[in-house]
């Protein structure tokens, strides 16, 4: 049995949520998408996730939600992390950290898709060994026959960490995709043993920006070396990601394709379809 999985790059603020709400339902329907995985660690004001926004993403058509180094930026998401079965924080955080190591979604055609997020250790906050953690989780999922295909998100700053993990997991999982840097890479490939790989799937939000923030304040911060509130940008909204076709019999991938979705009727105000309030600036 085959399944088509759409992986969506870091959703940044209300503009990211807005464009997602506008294009995702039709894209899923028209392209026979069976499962949608989305990184939402920047969905609330550009940093963190709230329970209300988590619910919105599910209404838009997201099936599995992943988080990264900003997983706990909004403290009220902790209860959701502890109770919901379709959202994950990085698996190689402390075993005492709130949230689940992996999540599973069963598609309409019966294929069970698991997602695991790992966080990098170069230029990032301290974390446990991602290799030891993924080995333990793969053993658990496979020994208990919990999923048919496994997607691993490598949320890391250094491209070397992402590339290395892609090679390490070749033939062990269906897909390894990178997030965090917000810049889509053009190195999507099928590794020799059947794992789909890409270093970064990019950002969902305003692309006339510096990683989703208005350019003027970011440039001013770089030039002066002083902190400034980085306002969420609103222009040129896009959804960035990949579509991976997987085979539940081989547990591996058959194809990987970069996608970037836009909407000609999307306004430039950066609003949700059901929320007209602008995002507050954040300092990162």
Beta strands (DSSP E) in 79-195 are 87-88, 102-106, 112-119, 149-155, 175-179, 189-190
Burial class of residue 145, CB neighbours in 10 A (0-12, 13-18, 19+)? exposed
Q: Is 207 annotated as a binding residue?
A: no
Query: Any residues with CB less than 8 A from the CB of 143 and at least 6 apart, and which?
Result: none
Q: Is 155 annotated as a binding residue?
A: yes
The maximal CA–CA distance of the chain, rounded, in angstroms, is: 56
Q: Is 41 annotated as a binding residue?
A: yes
Which is nearest to 40 in space by CA: 84, 5, 70, 3?
A: 70
The C-alpha atoms of residue 6 and residue 242 are separated, in whole angstroms, by: 6
Q: Is 31 annotated as a binding residue?
A: no
Q: Is 42 annotated as a binding residue?
A: yes
Query: Any residues with CB less than 8 A from the CB of 236 and at least 6 apart, and which?
Result: 206, 207, 208, 209
Distance of CA 80 to the CA centre of its chain: 17
- What's the count of helices (H) and strands (E) in the chain, helices before strands? 6, 14
> Which candidate in 18, 70, 207, 251 is catalytic?
70
Q: Is 69 annotated as a binding residue?
A: yes
Place of tokens 């109770």: 83
Q: Is 70 tagged catalytic?
A: yes
DSSP letter (8 states) at residue 109: T
The C-alpha atoms of residue 150 and residue 141 are separated, in whole angstroms, by: 9
Q: Mind giving me the DSSP string for 20-58?
A: HHHHHHHHHHHTT--EEEEE-TTTTTTS---HHHHHHHH
Q: Is 55 annotated as a binding residue?
A: no
Query: Which residue numbers belong to the known binding site?
Result: 10, 41-42, 69, 155, 180, 182
Query: Which residue numbers belong to the known binding site for Fe cation?
Result: 10, 41-42, 69, 155, 180, 182
Residues with active-site annotation: 70
């Amino acid at each position: 049995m085959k399944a088509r999985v759409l992986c969506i790059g870091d959703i940044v603020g209300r503009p990211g949520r807005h464009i997602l709400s506008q294009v995702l339902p039709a894209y899923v329907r028209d392209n026979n998408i069976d499962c949608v995985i989305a990184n939402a660690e920047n969905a609330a004001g550009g940093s963190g996730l709230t329970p209300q926004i988590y619910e919105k993403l599910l209404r838009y058509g997201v099936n599995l939600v992943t988080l990264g180094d900003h997983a706990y930026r909004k403290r009220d998401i902790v209860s959701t992390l502890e109770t919901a079965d379709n959202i994950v924080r990085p698996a190689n955080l402390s075993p005492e950290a709130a949230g689940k190591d992996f999540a599973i979604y069963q598609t309409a055609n019966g294929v069970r898709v698991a997602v695991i997020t790992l966080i990098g250790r170069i230029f990032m906050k301290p974390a446990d060994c991602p290799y030891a953690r993924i080995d333990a989780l793969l053993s658990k999922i496979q020994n208990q026959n919990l999923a048919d295909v496994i997607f691993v998100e490598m949320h890391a700053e250094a491209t070397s960490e992402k590339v290395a993990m892609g090679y390490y997991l070749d033939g062990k999982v269906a897909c390894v995709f990178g997030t965090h840097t917000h810049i889509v890479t053009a190195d999507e490939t099928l590794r020799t043993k059947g794992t789909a790989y890409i270093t970064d799937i990019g950002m969902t939000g305003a692309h006339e920006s510096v990683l989703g923030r208005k350019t003027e304040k970011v440039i001013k911060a770089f030039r002066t070396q002083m902190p400034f509130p980085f306002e969420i940008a609103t222009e040129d909204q896009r959804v960035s990601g990949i579509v991976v076709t997987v085979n539940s019999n081989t547990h591996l991938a058959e194809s990987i394709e970069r996608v970037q979705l836009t909407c000609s009727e999307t306004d430039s105000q950066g609003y949700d379809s059901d929320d007209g309030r602008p995002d507050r600036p954040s300092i990162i």
